[in-house]
Amino acid sequence: MPELPDVEHARRCLERWLLHKTLARVAASKTRLLRGSSVAALESLQGRRIENVRRHGKWLLVAFDGRQGLALHLGMTGRLSLERSRDPVRWSRAQLETAEGTRVHFQDPRMFGRLAAGSLARLRHELGLDQLGPDVWDEPPSAKVLGSALAHRRRAVKDLLMDQTVLAGLGNIQATEALWKARIHPARRAASLRLDEVRALIAAIRWTLARTLKSMGTPGDTTAAPPGSKAVFRVYGRAGETCPRCRTRLETMRIGGRQSAFCPKCQQAWRKRRR
């Protein structure tokens, strides 16, 4: 699940569960710590109050008093959940417990997630937040800015959209959906996009992010679709089904090792750059 909408949802959950609370206990068993961090650093957060919960791209950053921080990446299968007394929590790799007894689990079956604690300044450096591109939801680039980021790049546009140093937050699903919405073939060379196409792409990115975010509802809303439910997506994972726009049979191809669904009619590969 964890692309921008999922991480933003997780952020809102954390805010609801932890904001202004005191962290009484933190434990990390099998979670991989970020290089340069340690369990001792995690434990030094105990007794501190949570001041805010921010997100940049797919990273979560929890700020504590004393300029300390906890950084979290959900990796490919990570999720945050509130412990309820009923069923046991599977794949819990780390636990955060407030003085009031609220217990938050970091569940991560595949263990691609990351956790780190330390001074906020040091974390920002270690995480390479300065290496990340602008957050695609909070600070979307203008067509001109994105256009120049794509110019002179030979890689497939989809591959670049998922490059976190260009734009922070998009993953395979959101990039697939946005390109379909913007009617751009995923394998197009990034440099071949015209300015009007870049403009359409930015609008399409907002469209898919807003749509996915909305489908997840607000934290605690049990009527919303469970995160990652396929129903929201128009083309992702739907190769062989028909295009919702033109009824053409959707196809899929591999780009940068990732499966990329597209509509062969709406998303033409051979539009060449107009000079």
Binding site for DNA (CB under 7 A): 1-3, 6, 35, 57-58, 73, 75-77, 91, 109-112, 128, 153-156, 159, 162, 164, 171-173, 227-228, 256-259
What would the DSSP string read from start to end of 46-70? TTPBEEEEEEETTEEEEEEGGGEEE
Between 55 and 103, whose beta carbon lies closer to DNA? 55
144 among known catalytic residues: no
> Could you give the CA distance from residue 265 to residue 270 in angstroms, rounded to a whole number?
11
Between 23 and 168, whose beta carbon lies closer to DNA? 168
Q: How far is the CB of 203 from DNA (least distance, A)?
A: 21
Q: How far is the CB of 109 from DNA (least distance, A)?
A: 4
Q: How far is the CB of 217 from DNA (least distance, A)?
A: 15
58 among known catalytic residues: yes
Between 23 and 235, whose beta carbon lies closer to DNA? 235
21 among known catalytic residues: no
89 torsion bin: left (phi>0), alpha (psi -120 to 50), beta (else)? beta
Between 116 and 143, whose beta carbon lies closer to DNA? 116
2 among known catalytic residues: yes
Q: How far is the CB of 112 from DNA (least distance, A)?
A: 5
> Could you give the CA distance from residue 10 to residue 2 in angstroms, rounded to a whole number?
9
Between 97 and 163, whose beta carbon lies closer to DNA? 163
Q: How far is the CB of 107 from DNA (least distance, A)?
A: 11
Report helix, strand or coil for 74. coil
> Could you give the CA distance from residue 201 to residue 187 in angstroms, rounded to a whole number?
14
Strands (E), the chain: 23-28, 32-33, 50-56, 59-64, 68-73, 79-82, 92-98, 103-107, 114-119, 251-255, 258-262
Catalytic residue among 48, 199, 258, 271: 258
Q: How far is the CB of 245 from DNA (least distance, A)?
A: 22
Report helix, strand or coil for 120. helix
> Could you give the CA distance from residue 127 to residue 13 in angstroms, rounded to a whole number?
22
Catalytic residue among 11, 55, 58, 114: 58
Report helix, strand or coil for 203. helix
Which residues make beta-bridge pairs with 262?
A: 251
Number of separate helices (H) and strands (E) present in the chain: 7, 11
Between 97 and 135, whose beta carbon lies closer to DNA? 135
Q: Which active-site residues does the annotation give?
A: 2-3, 58, 258
